[in-house]
Structure formats: C-alpha cells, structure tokens
Amino acid sequence: MEKLLEKHKIVAVLRSGSVEEAKEKAQAVFKGGVCLIEITFTVPNAETVIREISFLKEKGAIIGAGTVTNVEQCKKAIESGAEYIISPHLDEEISQYCKERGVFYMPGVMTPTEIVKAMKLGHTILKLFPGELLGPKFVKLMKGPFPNVKFVPTGGVNLNNVCEWFEAGVLAVGVGSALVKGTTDEVTKKAQAFVKKIKECTE
C-alpha cells in the first residue's frame, strides 16, 4: 500500500448523501485520473457503494473505506471488498482486526503521543487529521523525532496548498470537498487539476 500511495499521491475522500451520488462521484474522480478512492462510512450504506463500484478495480482503481470508527464498520467494509481501512482516530481493535485479515489500516493521529502509540501497533503510515488545523509545518516538525513515519494529511487540502504539503514531506494527501463537490463533470476536471498540480510539485 505504501508503494501505491507513493505512486498515486492522492486519495479521493468521498462523502455524499446517497449511494447513487457516491457511485457517480467515484466514477468521476477515477475518470479524472485519481485511482485511490475512499468511501467514507458517513455515506448511507457505504458498504453497498464499495460493492457496487468494485468494477472500477478491473480498470485500476484501489477502493477502500474511510471514517471507520468501529470493528463492525470495518467488518462490513472488508466483506464488501474494501482493500484498505482508514479511520480518523487510532483504534487498537480495528488495527488488530485488519492485521488478522491482512488488510492495510491507516489510523488517524494528531499528536506525538498518538504517533508513538500507532508505531507501537506497527503502523508507520498515518493519516494526519485534521490537516487544516495542524498544517504542513507540523509535518516538518514531526519528521525530526519520527523520521520513519509517513504522513497522509486529510482535511483542508486544496489546489492552493497541496504543494506546501508535499514540500513538507508527506507521502500522499487525502482530498475531500475540494475535489468531490460539484457536478460529475466538475469533479472530473478537479481530479485532473489535482493530478496535474501534484505531478508538477513532486517531479
């Protein structure tokens, strides 16, 4: 999973009010060149969305579940075909459940204490949340004591600041509203813009 994050550098974080909207947005971001798609469990029947967009995997999409806050959601996600699990917090039960099933888990952290706890559980690729509150400078500061940890900020990442995050040393970024708001055509264009911008600032 680390190689996939390093290669693609962006995860589309999908939140929507219905299964149909989520499916449409997932296809729109993929059409725009974003392959890592995270279906959040704030979406009604998120597991149904994961199942119904699984056909995109054949075309190169990597589909996972986000905002997973308990083992029950984790179980539903994995049974529906989620290839990775992301949570806004650090959860030992989810960590253990994913480990037993060989599924990649990215816990959320926002303090040095949480980073150390995650490392003790065997996790070195961590979601930085909320990214907007912490900022790129936090990543630079954490690289000192934790040089082997790789961060994926989510929350507040947009086209105007995405390069600052990569300059700070993140592995990838999670992008929600700045990417997935709007019509499907607008979402596809935004996805293309993000892919282009990230390529420009990481090459």
Q: In the chain, what percentage of residues exceed pLDDT 90?
A: 99
- Could you tell me if residue 62 is inside a domain? yes
In-domain check, residue 134:
yes
Average pLDDT score, the chain? 98
Q: Does residue 180 sit within a domain?
A: yes
**Domain of 169: which CATH number?**
3.20.20.70
Mean pLDDT of 132-157: 97
Which is the catalytic residue, given 38, 76, 83, 150? Answer: 38
Q: What is the predicted pLDDT for the residue at 76?
A: 98
30 vs 134: CA distance, rounded Å: 28
Which residue among 25, 76, 127, 150 is the active-site one? 127
Residue 161 lies in a domain: yes
What local confidence, expressed as pLDDT, does residue 88 receive? Answer: 98
101 — pLDDT class (breaks 50, 70, 90)? very high
The total of structural domains in the chain comes to 1
The pLDDT, as a whole number, for residue 52 is 95
Residue 100 is a catalytic residue: no
pLDDT-derived band at 190 (thresholds 50, 70, 90) equals very high
Mean pLDDT of 90-116: 99
Is 127 catalytic? The answer is yes
Domain residue limits at 93: 2-198
pLDDT in the model for residue 77: 99
- 83 or 16: which leads in pLDDT: 83
Q: What is the pLDDT of residue 28?
A: 98
pLDDT average, residue stretch 97-102: 98
Residue 203 domain flag: no
